[in-house]
Amino acid sequence: MTCTGTPGLLEYQCVCTPGSAGADCDSVDECESSPCTAPGFECVDSPSGYTCRCQLDGEGCQAESSVCSSQPCLNNGTCVEAAGGFRCLCLPGFSGATCGDDIDECASGPCRNGAICRDSAGQYSCFCVPGFQGSNCEIDIDECASRPCRNHGTCLNHMDHYQCHCAPGYAGTAALPQRGGHYESCGFMSDFQAVHTHFCGFVTGVFLFFNKGVNCDTEIDECASEPCQNGALCNDHVGFYTCTCAPGYEGTQCEVDINECESQPCQSNGTCHDLINSYHCDCSDTGFEGAHCELDILECASDPCHNSATCLEGIKGYSCACWPGYTGQDCEEDVDECVTQPCHNGGLCLERSNPAHYGTQPHFPSNFSYSQAAGFLCQCQPGFSGELKLIPWTHTLLF
């Protein structure tokens, strides 16, 4: 709109833009679009709209029986004759002088919660995103209504999905709805939650996907991490595990090696060495033998004592009880009673411990006996005499 005025006068003139009319260009010119298409009719603008009337010369008007006979109303609009013309009664969804304008019912945004509005003749349709329903997608669906969480899991309703808080020992895998033609797996959830969407498919650029095991129906294998040690057998239970330990181990995870030496099984001061599920007794330098050092070693079994001496068992050794006339650790030495030359005047000293004298020399019995082997006899030269210098046996054993 362009307005011009005369200086000094309260007058102005407006040149209206197409589609507007009036002194101030404040009214809409309904005839701007030339709605009257029937031959011989002209458009007359009015505050309430416009009318089509026959031109003054009447050319072409008389040939028509009615202004509505040409069916000027579009989209099944109803034509009604009016003073000097007609008007159209439009069906829902259309407007304009001849009902040629399709009304966009989606322009007001009737669809809620991210739904997509699709316009059609006289109406609209809402395509709801997952989790909503209703004519305008105004109702949030309660995904927990079907009680999807199993094994005593607790269901939490969220927008377009639900969440299961699983009881200990249960879990699963899931995926959440992703926009833009992609989906992303949630992977393995913790022991206490799993997420699930109620719908699987493709709606207007949104992928919806879910895996099995999302409703706390997957029992967690607590043995999968191999918690039991030292060859133990793992027993999986709901929410926990137990370990059956191999022999020689104990503890929750069989991590403790049992000390079999704690009961002090080795006797006679033997040294205990702990092994796996066993022990070993070191009996060295104890004088004992056996699995527990419980057997006294029989040192006399090898008959170590000589000259008919008596072997006496001891701890870590033995001793020999020698007959008189013998000495040494094993009674192996014959005491030489003649070394001091006890016989006088050239007398010959004969040891009683020499078996060769028995049965061959005077005053010696015919048979040798260790009980009479102590002492000596003097065999005098002719012209001399004296005691035989016998050393009596006193029944005393020498050690």
Topology alike, domains 34-102 and 260-296? yes
Is residue 163 within 8 A of residue 215, CB to CB? The reply is no
Give the per-residue pLDDT at 4.
Answer: 64
Model pLDDT, residue 180: 36
pLDDT in tens, 49-91: 677 776 655 555 554 457 888 888 998 899 988 877 888 999 8
* pLDDT of the residue at 397: 42
Residue 183 is predicted with a pLDDT of 33
In CATH, the number for domain 34-102 is 2.10.25.10
CATH number listed for the domain at residues 260-296: 2.10.25.10
Using CA atoms, how far apart are residues 284 and 273, in angstroms rounded to an integer?
Answer: 13
164-180 pLDDT, tens per residue?
A: 888 888 875 443 443 33
CB 85 within 8 A of CB 37: no
Q: What is the predicted pLDDT for the residue at 55?
A: 66
**What whole-number distance in Å separates Cα of residue 55 and Cα of residue 64?**
13
Query: Looking at residue 350, what is its pLDDT?
Result: 92
Give the pLDDT score at 2: 64
pLDDT at position 192, please? 34
| Confidence (pLDDT) at 389 | 46
Torsion, Cα 270 274 277 278, to 10 degrees, reads -20
Task: Please list the ranges in the chain whose pLDDT falls under 70.
Answer: 1-12, 17-27, 38-40, 47-49, 54-65, 172-214, 387-399
Question: Taking the mean position of all CA atoms in its chain, how far away is CA 373?
Answer: 90
Domain ranges of the chain: 1-26, 34-102, 142-219, 260-296, 303-399
Residue 137 has a pLDDT of: 94
- Taking the domain 303-399, which CATH number applies? 2.10.25.10
Q: What pTM was estimated for this model as a whole?
A: 0.39
pLDDT at 50: 72
